[in-house]
Amino acid sequence: MLLWAASASVVHAADVSPRFEDLGDGTVRDRLYGLIWIKDPDRVPGIQGSMIWLQAKNGCEELEYAGRPAGTWRLPNITELENLQDDNFKSPRLDIRFFTAYSEPYWSSTDYSGSGPRAWTVHFGTGELGSSSKLSLTSPVRHRARCCRTDR
């Protein structure tokens, strides 16, 4: 009985069509993964343009947007960010009916295991995963941020 309950709760892409829903407040609901995303970060003060990793993380966490208080939004982990990609779109690799994106890397909150403090990134132009330094005193690495929150 428990196994049946666990398998019955699995959500498949075919079960949530359409996957995305524009909420009309600058956000988009991802019905497949239960997240709310910012549609166009460049229109949101605090997360506009390219920034270092700490600015991206803090910008999301301090964001007051779409009727939600600070502490509601966060920088997504690498899996959440990667799951936004859509193979039906070439560049950017996002559903452009719902999202704006630049063909450049976006920060994730996920640490990259390697040399020095690094974080995983997703390049929405190419679909590639990568990593970049969170800290650089000589030439700071700047990428974009796309904040999300849990849909509840």
Question: Which pLDDT tens digit goes with each residue over 86-145?
Answer: 888 888 889 999 999 888 999 999 999 877 799 999 999 999 999 999 987 677 899 999
| pLDDT confidence of residue 31 | 97
| pLDDT confidence of residue 6 | 32
Q: Which of 108, 127, 129 is CA-nearest to residue 119?
A: 108
pLDDT, average across residues 60-86: 96
| pLDDT confidence of residue 15 | 65
| pLDDT confidence of residue 51 | 96
Question: Which pLDDT tens digit goes with each residue over 1-56?
Answer: 223 233 333 444 556 689 999 999 999 999 999 999 999 999 999 999 999 999 99
Report which secondary-structure segment, H or E, holds 8.
Answer: helix 2-8
Q: CB-based contacts of 95: which residues, under 8 Å, 6+ apart?
A: 19, 20, 86, 88, 89
**18-150 CATH choice from 3.10.100, 1.10.10, 3.40.50, 2.60.40:** 3.10.100
Give me the residue spans of the domains in the chain: 18-150
Question: What is the Cα–Cα distance from 102 to 125, expressed in whole angstroms?
Answer: 7
Q: CB-based contacts of 15: which residues, under 8 Å, 6+ apart?
A: none
